[in-house]
Chains A and B, each alone.
Chain A
Amino acid sequence: MEINRRKFLILTTSIAAMTSSGEPSATSSPGAYDVHAHWWGMTIDIDKCIGCGNCVRACAVENSVPEGFYRTWIERYEVPPGEDATPVVASPDGGIHGFPPMQGADAKRFFVPKLCNQCAMSPCVQVCPVGATFVSPDGVVLVDEKYCLGCRYCVQACPYGCRYIHPVKKTVDKCTLCYHRITQGLTTACCEACPTGARQLADLKNPSDPVHEFLRNNKIQVLKPQMATRSKTFYRALDGAVR
């Protein structure tokens, strides 16, 4: 039994060659889309939202979202006067049918559309035990349905309540920022359906995207900044009452 250094090296290099991964993925196959040339996010202007529910309906159709679950939804805030007033938040069926009209000028009222914040440092990604949820190279938090175990760690970890277990697939489901649309030059279904332009898809790597002007010219806030998730859903005119 002679195993000299030479044989040993030949053996180890052949094992290494065997295990090195094969050809790169065909990620560029459906159309010429460069995953490294984009960094997606969204801007939401609270002052423009009329709570019509178009975005919730559009999202449900585009992404076959099961009834009773929401990838995007609208909350209506009602903040009574007084410094220690508790805001009243309503979101009947996620706002999918709009909201019943309110009367009176005795409170501050506004709509807050919500969706996955596409965090660059997302807690949901950090807790996934199998690499089924991840931030894509272009900045979208996605779920690999073939890999998801349905363990729900990420559902608990999301500070914004944006994830649910799909009742049929039994895997986790969430906003994909309409990844199938934005990678072929379309905007998201919610933005397409928004009548007032309150929601806008933003490509932060595109120097001519209006997002840069929007971020420069307005007072901007993200949800729960104290969570340090590096959210890429930027709100204009966000009230302190919003959690």
Chain B
Amino acid sequence: MSSRLKDAAHLIPLVLVVLAGVAVFLLFRQVLVPKTFGQYGHYRAAALDDIRVRPVSFAGQATCAMCHDEVATTRSKGKHRGVSCEACHGPLAKHADDPAAMKPKKLAGTGLCQGCHKADKAKPAYFPQVVPAEHSGGAECLSCHQPHSPQMQ
């Protein structure tokens, strides 16, 4: 037994060198690979957190309704019930966070309305469309329609 060990003695430095190499590799790997790499898969799990903290521009209509419940109620009874506040008013998260800090712009109706309702053969037939010149002779849409409850009684 001991003579066999003696025969293999010349291999020990070699083994040590290999082990040292492995240790250095593992050390570098430990320093260079981010902590969360591999937690969920072959990527840095902390990237999810980086993405999650990006700022929000659209508050969502549930938020608008908390303060503007009157408008929300009016809208919910009309044909624009499915159209969210910010689909027309644009992104207003800053306003919802602090109404005094950012006052929404006043909307001009006609251009806005036509963006959705101008007649176009590529639009699905169910969608109510008008040719503005024929429909109102170019008059402001809001002179007849209410934006939050648009259909005529």
Please choose the segment from A20-28, A155-163, A209-217 that sits at the chain B interface, where 4 or more of its residues have CB less than 8 A away: A20-28
A184 to B54, CA, bound (A): 12
Interface residues contributed by chain B, number (CB under 8 Å)? 54
A49 to B53, CA, bound (A): 31
- Contact across chains for A104 and B57 when beta carbons are under 8 A apart: no
- Contact across chains for B27 and A193 when beta carbons are under 8 A apart: no
Type the 1/0 row for B37-80, where 1 means its CB is closer than 8 Å to any CB of A: 11111111111111111111110110000000000000000000
- Contact across chains for A19 and B120 when beta carbons are under 8 A apart: no
Q: Which of A27, A29, A99 contacts B120 (CB 8 A)?
A: A99
A52 to B88, CA, bound (A): 11
Of A22, A24, A101, A143, chain B has the most CB atoms within 10 Å of the CB of A101
- Contact across chains for A145 and B86 when beta carbons are under 8 A apart: no
- B12 CB contacts on chain A under 8 angstroms: 1, 3
B121 within 8 A of A: yes
A189 to B52, CA, bound (A): 14
- A62 CB contacts on chain B under 8 angstroms: 56-58, 91
Name which residue of chain B comes closest to A24, CB basis. B39
- B43 CB contacts on chain A under 8 angstroms: 131-134, 144, 147
Name which residue of chain B comes closest to A14, CB basis. B23
A87 within 8 A of B: no
B107 within 8 A of A: no
- A186 CB contacts on chain B under 8 angstroms: 56, 58, 60
Quote the shortest CB–CB distance from A35 to chain B (angstroms): 7
- B115 CB contacts on chain A under 8 angstroms: 52-53, 98
- A196 CB contacts on chain B under 8 angstroms: 82, 127
A99-B45 contact in complex given A194-B87, A195-B87, C-beta closer than 8 Å:
no
A187 to B61, CA, bound (A): 10
A179 within 8 A of B: yes
A22 to B83, CA, bound (A): 48
B36 within 8 A of A: yes
- A110 CB contacts on chain B under 8 angstroms: 122, 124
Q: Which of B19, B52, B91, B121 contacts A61 (CB 8 A)?
A: B91
- A32 CB contacts on chain B under 8 angstroms: none
> In chain A between 47 and 81, which residues have their CB closer than 8 angstroms to a CB of chain B?
47-54, 58, 61-63, 76, 78
- A18 CB contacts on chain B under 8 angstroms: 26-27, 30
Quote the shortest CB–CB distance from B107 to chain A (angstroms): 14
A76 to B29, CA, bound (A): 51
Quote the shortest CB–CB distance from A183 to chain B (angstroms): 5
Given A30-B49, A192-B61, 17 more A-B residue pairs with CB atoms under 8 Å apart are: A19-B29, A21-B35, A24-B36, A27-B46, A47-B126, A53-B115, A61-B91, A103-B121, A104-B121, A109-B122, A132-B43, A135-B41, A180-B53, A189-B58, A192-B84, A195-B84, A195-B87
